[in-house]
Structure formats: structure tokens, C-alpha cells
Amino acid sequence: MCVTCGCGSNQTHVEGETAAGPGHVHAHDHAHDGGGHRHRHGDGPWHSHDHGAADAAGLGAAHAAGVAPSRRVQIEQDILAKNDAIAAANRQRLADRGIFALNLVSSPGSGKTTLLVKTIEALQGRIATAVIEGDQQTSRDADRIRATGAPAIQVNTGKGCHLDADMVRRALDRLDPADGSLLLVENVGNLVCPAAFDLGEAHKVAILSVTEGEDKPLKYPDMFHAADLLLINKTDLLPYVDFDVDAAIGYARRVRPDIEVMRVSATTGAGFEAWLAWLERGVLAARTQRDASVQALRRRVAELETALGRGA
């Protein structure tokens, strides 16, 4: 379910999880009053679920209309609080391993997967990179990533229009990215809902292609406000389209004054030096931070051992 647009998500599937296996979870596009219930998917086995207050909402847009506004606000707060708690755990888990994680957000077709493929190829042999792919259906994007040799897990969100922190948690269980690596999460193509959901990433990176029109940051401000970096993609097409790059940057900075901007072409690789350097700085910082916490922990253990030794 989505607290932003009220859409319903009927079933999420993380590649590699079995329907009957542990961690099989899904949201519903129908409402419950809480408590448990039994049902099945297709011809799969019957199984039961418990629903907390948030999940009980199961907000399909039609059903949401029947929920009192105050109750709806409460439900939305519950859902986002639950998501934020899992995102914080994801962030800690990634920090403990020195992994630099990015959440790539854009409309469908702006070039996320093409950009990821090109980026992985450019970083090959320098930085280990793993990918979580979010789409409503199919594993086409994960297949494109795996063709580069990089590990990828596809998450299919069914009717859902965004990834949430729990989907990423489950995908991380399967993917197990290497210590000190780069984790790229391609969110579901949508300029609205993914803005509200923290996945535990270091940064949201928004991609805006020059075929979409320069006014998107004004029309979808939440997304451009949430992003720390804006990649203006498909710059190779600029001679053929009516797109004012400076105006696009100006609009993005109206909603997020300090947003960093880079112009790239995922097809030709133009502008990639700056993007790759930005990634390398992030990976290095995540590793350095992890090493610093390990050192601090070692020092603390040594202090405690000394204190214990003195007491003995």
C-alpha cells in the first residue's frame, strides 16, 4: 500500500524467496480489522497472517476513501514510522559493513538501468557493485544487470508503486553484498511515492532525462527535494529536443537549493568522470567510517580489558 497515492499493493516478491518459505510477506489491496486470517495465492498453500494496525489498513484507494481522515493520518504515520525503523536498521547494517548505498529514483524510461549497466562496466575491477532492482513485474532489469557479471536481485512489487525498507531488508538477506562495496537500488519508476520511503540509503539520486521536460522538479517537488544528487541524463539527445538544462537545474534548486547536479549520457558515457568520481568518494567514505568505528570499538574493548585487569 502507499501512503502517498493510496494505491494498493497485493503481493511483493523478492527473487529467490519461495511462496511457502520464511520471509514471504505481502501487502493487500483490501482492508482488514486487524487480527489474523488465512488465504492463499493462486494454487499455493493456504497460510495465515497477522495484521498490525498499519497493515490492517491495506489501503486500496477505494477502501481508503471509506476510512475516517483522522484514522487515515494515524495509519499513514504508523506505516511510515514502521518503514523508518526498518530503514534505520538497514542503514546501520550497511554502515557496519562499509557499504555505500544509493536509491535511484526517476520516472520510467529515464535511463536508470542503462546508467547502472554503464556504471558497473566502468567500475569493474575497481569497486564491487551489487544491485537491487524494483519493478512491478518481470526480472528484465535484473537480467540486464546480471549480464554484466554483477550480482542483482529483482523485487517485484505487484501493484505497489515503490520499494520500501522491508523489501530492501529481504533483498539484502539474499544478495549479501561484499564489505566495502557499492549497492545500487533501482526504485520503481515513479516520481511520487518513492520520495516518502527511506530504504536506508546514503543518498537518493534522482535521474531526469532531457525527453521528460525541464519542469518536472516543479511538478514533483517531493522527489527532487528528497534527492541529494540530480543526474540529467540523455544529454546526447539535447540537439534534438526542446529542453532547457539551465532552467531544469534552476527548478530543481528552487525545491532543493543545495542539490548537486551532473549532466550525463548513459548511452555515450559523456559526463561519467564526475559521476564515477562522486561514487568513488562515497565508497571510500563508507569504508573509512566503518574502519573508524571498528578502531573505536577495539579501543573500547582494550580499555575495558585493562579496567577488568586492574580490578582483578
Residues in touch with ligand GDP (CB under 6 A): 106, 108-114, 189, 233-234, 236-237, 265-267
- Rounded to a whole number of angstroms, the minimum distance from the CB of residue 107 to Mg ion is 11
Cβ within 8 Å of residue 140, ≥6 positions away: none
Which among 113-121, 230-238, 270-278, 288-296 is the span making contact with Mg ion, rule CB under 5 A?
113-121
Cα-to-chain-centroid distance, residue 88:
13
Site size toward Mg ion, by CB under 5 A: 3
Beta-carbon contacts of 106 under 8 Å, excluding residues fewer than 6 positions away, are 112, 187, 189, 191, 206, 207, 208, 209
Residues belonging to the chain: 312
Provide the sign of the torsion angle of the four alpha carbons 257, 205, 282, 199, taken in this order: positive
54 vs 116, beta carbon nearer ligand GDP: 116
Considering the rule CB under 5 A, would residue 198 count as an interface residue with Mg ion? no
Closer of 101 and 104 to ligand GDP (Cβ): 104
**DSSP readout, 156-174?**
E-TT--S--HHHHHHHHHH
CA-CA-CA-CA torsion sign (301, 307, 309, 312): negative
Q: Which residue is nearest to Mg ion (CB)?
A: 113
Q: Among ligand GDP, Mg ion, none, what binds residue 60 when CB lies within 5 to 8 Å by partner kind?
A: none
Of residues 236 and 260, the one with the C-beta less far from ligand GDP = 236
Nearest residue to ligand GDP, using CB?
111
Burial 8-19 (b: 16+ CB within 10 A, else e): bbbbbbbbebee
- Which span (5-13, 107-115, 210-218, 296-304) binds Mg ion, by CB under 5 A? 107-115
Among 9, 83, 106, 113, binds Mg ion (CB under 5 A): 113
Residue with smaller CB distance to ligand GDP, 111 or 200: 111
Residue 131 phi/psi, 5-degree rounding, is: -130, 140
For ligand GDP, which is the closer residue by CB, 83 or 190? Answer: 190
Q: Which is nearer to Mg ion, 140 or 300 (CB)?
A: 140
In this structure, the number of other CB atoms found within 10 A of the CB of residue 282 comes to 18
103 binds, among ligand GDP, Mg ion, none (CB under 5 to 8 A by kind): none
* Distance from chain centroid for Cα 309: 47
CB of 114 to ligand GDP, least distance (A): 3
Give the binding site for Mg ion (CB under 5 A).
Answer: 112-113, 141
